[in-house]
Structure 1
Amino acid sequence: MGNFVYYITAATKVFQIVVYTLTLYYLMLSLFGLYRRKEKKNYTPNKKFAMIVAAHNEEVVIANLIESLKHQDYPKELYDIFVIADNCTDSTADISRKHGAKVFERMNKEKRGKGYALEWMFDKIFKMDKKYDAIAIFDADNLVSPNFIKEMNSKMCEGYKVVQGYLDSKNPEDSWITQSYSISFWSSNRAFQLARANLGLSNQIGGTGFAVDVEILKKLGWGATCLTEDLEFTCKLVLNGEKVGWAHDAIVFDEKPLTLKDSWNQRKRWMQGFSDVASRFFVRLIKKAVKDRDYVAFDCALYVAQPFMTLMVALSLCLTVIQSNFGIGLFTMDQMFSGDSIWIWRSFSMFQFLLTPFILIMDRKLTKKFFAALLLYSTNVLVLPWFIGIMEKTKDFTFIASVNIVFTLGFIAVIMIAMGKKATLMFFRYLLYGIYTLTWVPITIQGIMNKNNKEWSHTKHVRQIGIYDV
């Protein structure tokens, strides 16, 4: 029995250290997004752009996107707007024409989905008499900031073949799901996209709001059969020695799903695509990283392995919970801290909790007053264990849970009195962001299990939001 416990402890120790090393890698990476380097921008109009929108039954939202594209701060003769009315049965094509877009209608029931529609349109663009330097891609529910093309032109003049813009949210206050989505995108923009740009790594294409050089697109091909063709294209770029650039000021507002069900379906599709790409590109990226000592390829390999890293983190948390409640010899990272040093671990946990809202302050997505409220709330990591210890209830799970619930409810009441109803709702939804994060675990499992299912799921939009509304 003793040997069994020894091997269990050793195995879980290796596993936990690997997981926390990977977690620490991303934590350290995120810190490089806390600042912005001064950029020398070139706003001289140079590149000619084809602006492509892939739309399937998008009559509700397509007009607002086209209008935002028509009002770009860029010479009108240097860009054209194309709409792919893909298997549409509504008025998407007619509305798009009415608002001045060049419309191409596509009917193909076998090859359905955005990837096929884009590849079909790319071929037509390549064969046109009018030649374009770059193609920018959008979803029909997007809204585009007036400086988008100007910023893309500047980055592409630096030599980048592909540039991703800042993905913002059209509807962050609609529900707790849209707020969770928004927090996720906002923090990712700064902590990972800008951080990678600061470090000279490759950024990641986000599916919309990006521009790609026509010649590199011809050379590498798009790859329409994957549910996350943008991720596959990113891997192709890195394997060919290219990097995706980042334009932090080129903002695209994206509409987030309103309900958990819609969010679940969308994120499951993402994880299916991620798992598919990881199975085909992870080893190739690692080989390139080792052979060429290419840190860009190594970072990209870790990124595509996200589904599996998510499950590793989830398993690590489960092992920690099991050990805390049953003490069966599993290794947990907090075992490295004992006595007074446990406060170091708890302070680190507090730092992790506050890092995301601090990052959001950088891009003015949260107020300093709201951050101060989160700072006060995070002290529960230090205060509650001290209180529970005084009460000598450190092993009483029911008591611990009750104390945490009472503290949270009391704090919400204080927020209501001090900051009002809107701030209280936002604070409550911010706490629910943890639940949103946890849902990634079952979603990821489903995604991995169904990675060979390439069926595209369409998100229906039911209301209009104009660029001046955001």
Structure 2
Amino acid sequence: MTVFYYLWAIVQICIGYNLVFPLVLWVIYLLKGKPTLPNRSTAPEADYAIIVTAYEQTTLLPKVVDSLLALHYSNYLIYIVADKCDISNLHFPDPRVILLRPEQVLASNTRSHFYAIRHFRRPHERLTIIDSDNLVDPQYLNELNVYFDQGFQAVQGIREAKNMNTTLACLDAGRDIYYHFYDGKVLFGVGSSATLAGSGMAFTVRLYRECLEHLDVSGAGFDKVLQYAIISRGYRIAFTDKAIVYDEKTAKSDQLVKQRARWINTWFKYFTYGFKLIGKGIRSFNWNQFVFGFILLRPPLFIFLVLSVIFMLVNLLIAPLASLSWLISLILFVVGFLLALISSETDPRIYRSLVNIPSFMMYQILALLKARKANKYSVATKHEGSES
């Protein structure tokens, strides 16, 4: 019975810390004081490769390219990797756009990235990764340079919602705001690293190749592998909310379920990296690695919220005082979530959508049930305006 009691306590602690950890980081962030933002460098423009990955869908590519060609920057080339795509209707007369169609289906983000790297027209210094449904702010590359010129080798920008045409899209955007605030601004501000978001991120070409060229990462989750590789090598991933990428939010329930199934699958696949980073951080007294390890261990939001409610209800029967602790922790989580929204420029539609959080979580529970077969789904999420 004593062994069961300790196991029960350990399981609850492993889940419960996720409710309050963001607020703990926020308090540390406040105590450290607001970081001094670096100024834009007057150094010559670095040479960028902009890699746009498309899988099966090409409808939105012309708008993506138009957005990239409007950048207030001159030293870059755009590499479009159109994997398993019909490119007969794609015509880009601008010489800065290189359209690549692999002879064999790659069905992998990293394979597409390295296909582009092998076809570089010149030895680029930096690369940035853009999805086939993204648009970019004209100052995107200039804002990335602010942190590269401070010595960082990896920088994550911010992904803002391009569409909020449905309740699901608004909730998806609200979730992103929460993660950008804690996993980007706060985490980087306390001396750790921003998490990678899959697009809107940039690296020195040397670091990207060093981290992934020897691996063949299939399915979703290459960003999980990449951020672990970067941080385990002793680098920090910078975060800037001024390098803006406009991202298509998931607007339909079937899209949401398939997308989240892939994401949940990647957490189960890669969460053990967290233990490795925590151990590495302790051995080397590396704060960045130690803190980031806890972030990698964190389950998807809905999983630890559902488990927290279950633990609270069970404890009502066996340990009422523990149940009260769960209630307080859940309240603190809600406070932290609202803090993230209030601290950001949050669209009023997102606030109005919050009453639909229970149905949003139900869709994610469905995704959890499909997670084991997630890699059988298309590697790309089809959005409004995309090919069907």
TMscore range, shorter length: 0.7 to 0.9
CA change 1:30–1:95 in 2 (3 A) is farther
Distance 1:318 1:168 in 2: 33
CA change 1:96–1:275 in 2 (3 A) is farther
- State how many pairs are aligned: 381
CA shift at 1:459, angstroms?
Answer: 2.1
Distance 2:358 2:300 in 1: 19
Q: Looking at CA atoms only, which structure, 1 or 2, has the larger radius of gyration?
A: 1
Residue of structure 1 aligned with 2:258, choices 260, 265, 275: 265
CA change 1:97–1:230 in 2 (3 A) is farther
CA shift at 1:151, angstroms?
Answer: 0.6
Q: Which amino acid in the other structure matches residue 272 of structure 1? A: N
- For the 8 Å contact 1:67–1:99, the answer to whether it is kept is no
CA change 1:268–1:118 in 2 (3 A) is same
Q: Does 1:253 align with 2:250?
A: no
Residue of structure 1 aligned with 2:115, choices 115, 120, 125: 120
CA shift at 1:214, angstroms?
Answer: 1.1
Classify the secondary structure of the residue corresponding to 1:205: coil
Q: Does 1:299 align with 2:291?
A: yes
TM-score by length of 2: 0.87
Q: Map residues 193-342 of structure 1 onto 2, 5 A cutoff.
A: 193-222=184-213, 223-226=215-218, 227-279=220-272, 281-307=273-299, 311=303, 313-324=305-316, 327=317, 329-330=318-319, 333-335=322-324
CA shift at 1:298, angstroms?
Answer: 2.3
Name 1:155's counterpart in structure 2.
Answer: 147
Deviations 1:424-448 (A, max 9, x none): xx6552111244245444534643x
Residue of structure 2 aligned with 1:190, choices 181, 189, 204: 181
CA change 1:268–1:30 in 2 (3 A) is farther
Distance 1:323 1:102 in 2: 60
Distance 2:95 2:11 in 1: 57
CA shift at 1:308, angstroms?
Answer: 7.8
- For the 8 Å contact 2:160–2:246, the answer to whether it is kept is yes
CA change 1:277–1:10 in 2 (3 A) is closer
Greater Cα offset, 131-140 or 219-228: 219-228
Name 1:361's counterpart in structure 2.
Answer: 342
Q: Does 1:102 align with 2:98?
A: yes
Name 1:430's counterpart in structure 2.
Answer: 354
CA change 1:349–1:304 in 2 (3 A) is closer
Greater Cα offset, 356-365 or 199-208: 356-365
- For the 8 Å contact 2:109–2:222, the answer to whether it is kept is no
Distance 2:78 2:17 in 1: 46
- For the 8 Å contact 1:52–1:136, the answer to whether it is kept is yes
CA shift at 1:229, angstroms?
Answer: 0.8
- For the 8 Å contact 2:41–2:149, the answer to whether it is kept is no
Distance 2:338 2:365 in 1: 23
Distance 2:137 2:79 in 1: 18
CA shift at 1:225, angstroms?
Answer: 2.0
CA shift at 1:12, angstroms?
Answer: 3.3
Name 2:69's counterpart in structure 1.
Answer: 70
Deviations 1:159-186 (A, max 9, x none): 11111100111012x1111011100111
Name 2:380's counterpart in structure 1.
Answer: 458
Classify the secondary structure of the residue corresponding to 1:179: helix
The alignment-based identity, stated in percent, is: 18
Q: Does 1:27 align with 2:23?
A: yes
CA shift at 1:267, angstroms?
Answer: 1.4
TM-score by length of 1: 0.73
Distance 1:80 1:430 in 2: 41
Residue of structure 1 aligned with 2:135, choices 125, 138, 143: 143
Q: CA-atom RMSD, angstroms?
A: 3.0
Classify the secondary structure of the residue corresponding to 1:250: strand
Deviations 1:24-58 (A, max 9, x none): 22232245677853312224243110111011343
Distance 1:185 1:216 in 2: 26
Name 1:47's counterpart in structure 2.
Answer: 46
Classify the secondary structure of the residue corresponding to 1:106: coil
Distance 2:93 2:299 in 1: 41
Classify the secondary structure of the residue corresponding to 2:158: strand
Deviations 1:68-111 (A, max 9, x none): 1111122x2x111111121212546x2445796211111313x3
- For the 8 Å contact 1:57–1:91, the answer to whether it is kept is no
Unaligned runs of 5+ in 2: none
Distance 1:336 1:219 in 2: 45
Greater Cα offset, 23-32 or 79-88: 23-32
Deviations 1:343-391 (A, max 9, x none): xx66x75554343233223222146xxxxxxxxxxxxxxxxxxxxxxxx
- For the 8 Å contact 2:225–2:270, the answer to whether it is kept is yes
Q: Map residues 435-450 of structure 1 onto 2, 5 A cutoff.
A: 435-437=359-361, 439-444=363-368, 446-447=370-371, 449-450=372-373
Deviations 1:300-335 (A, max 9, x none): 2222223388645533321322444xx2x2566334
CA shift at 1:190, angstroms?
Answer: 1.4
Name 2:59's counterpart in structure 1.
Answer: 60
Distance 2:151 2:35 in 1: 18
Unaligned runs of 5+ in 1: 338-344, 368-422, 465-470
Distance 2:298 2:17 in 1: 14
Classify the secondary structure of the residue corresponding to 1:317: helix
Name 1:81's counterpart in structure 2.
Answer: 78
CA change 1:318–1:40 in 2 (3 A) is same
- For the 8 Å contact 1:33–1:192, the answer to whether it is kept is no
